[in-house]
Amino acid sequence: MADIAELKKIATQVRRDILRQVHGCASGHPGGSLGCADFFTALYFEIMEHDPSFNMKGAGEDVFFLSNGHISPVWYSTLARAGYFPIAELATFRKLNSRVQGHPATHEGLPGIRVASGSLGQGLSVAIGMAIAKKLDGDDKLVFALTGDGELQEGQIWEAVMFAPHNKIDNLIVTVDLNGRQIDGDTKDVLSLGDIEGKWRTFGWEVLNIQDGNDMEEIVKVLHQAKTMSGQGKPIVILMRTEMGYPIDFMVGTHKWHGAAPNDAQLENALGQLEETLGDY
């Protein structure tokens, strides 16, 4: 049984890390990062079987690919808190000579990252490649991937969405962060995604829903359920509704914090809304 209270504590610290990272370099993407903090925490501290000593090939372990690379702060914090690299290194986010690049990259050798992402739409294809390799190698571990919802506007996503069911890629669990917002505004206004559940289902995916992607209990429950559905001939997608900026009162309900960092006063205000549970870096 998952210790939900413990996971929530970690997620709260991850949120503090996110805010302090983007504030430290006055840039980056806090909104989507905050919204996905619970998901990342659940994935790395409850769901995935993974090895923080990090091996690029990921043989014999579950692996994760972040397709919407701009929410790198949440991934970096989670990886550091899970033991992939020193937590103090988060202070170098987006700064010169750092391994903690603006968007995830392998180039500087940051443990935990297996492919660069940031130019949107590519991560699902890469995850499929890893999933095919695992099957060929008789490796029964799983491949996880996260995409944004605005990212579904990229054509390559739908190439991959069509490919996976045809090829019975059933060791793949994709989550879509449905926060309904993108840089230019609400997704429904910029380019509507329409019947998103119907689209995935029609393409041949098993579709699960997380109604509240900021409810740790529900996230853990649905991810566990997804794992039990793997290996049955179909790829699995989880449509996860989150709130961009959650739970910072002045960051929710708008797309404004997609790619903007808080100033000193805003940071203080935001941190005041989040208990320091594991110690800041």
Partner 1 sequence: MLQDYISSGSKATRDGFGEALYEVGAQNENVMALCADLVASLKMQKFIDHFPTRFVQTGIAEANMIGIAAGLATAGKIPYTGTFANFSTGRVYDQIRQSVAYSHKNVKICASHAGLTLGEDGATHQILEDIGMMRMVPGMTVINPCDFNQTKAATKAIAEYYGPVYLRFGRPNWPNIMSDTKFEIGKAVIMNEGTDVTIIATGHLVWNALEAARNLEAKGISVYLINIHTIKPLDEEAILDAVSKTKCVVTCEEHQINGGLGDAVANVLARNFPSPQEYVAVKDSFGESGNPMDLLIKYGLGTADVEAAAVKVLERKG
Residues that bind partner 1 (CB under 8 A): 56-59, 65, 105-107, 114-119, 121-134, 136-137, 155-156, 159-160, 162-163, 167
Q: How far apart are CA 45 and CA 43, in angstroms?
A: 6
For partner 1, the closer of residues 139 and 206 by Cβ is 139
Closest CB 137 distance from partner 1, rounded Å: 7
CB nearer to partner 1: give 166 or 256: 166
HSE (CB half, 13 Å, CA atoms) of 191? Answer: 8
Q: Which is closer to partner 1, CB of 116 or CB of 229?
A: 116
As to burial, measured by CB atoms within 10 angstroms (0-12 exposed, 13-18 middle, 19+ buried), residue 140 is exposed
Cβ at position 77, least distance to partner 1 in Å: 22
| 30 upstream amide cis, omega within 30 of 0 | no
In the complex, minimum distance from the CB of residue 82 to partner 1, in angstroms, rounded to a whole number: 19
The pair of structure tokens assigned to 102 is 């603006």
The DSSP output letter for 244 is T
Q: Which is nearer to partner 1, 99 or 221 (CB)?
A: 99
Q: How far is the CB of 29 from partner 1 (least distance, A)?
A: 17
* C-beta of 91 vs 132, nearer to partner 1: 132
237 vs 190: CA distance, rounded Å = 23
Whole-number minimum distance, CB 111 to partner 1, in Å?
14
Give the neighbor-by-neighbor strand order of the sheet with 206-210: 63-66, 143-148, 172-178, 236-241, 206-210
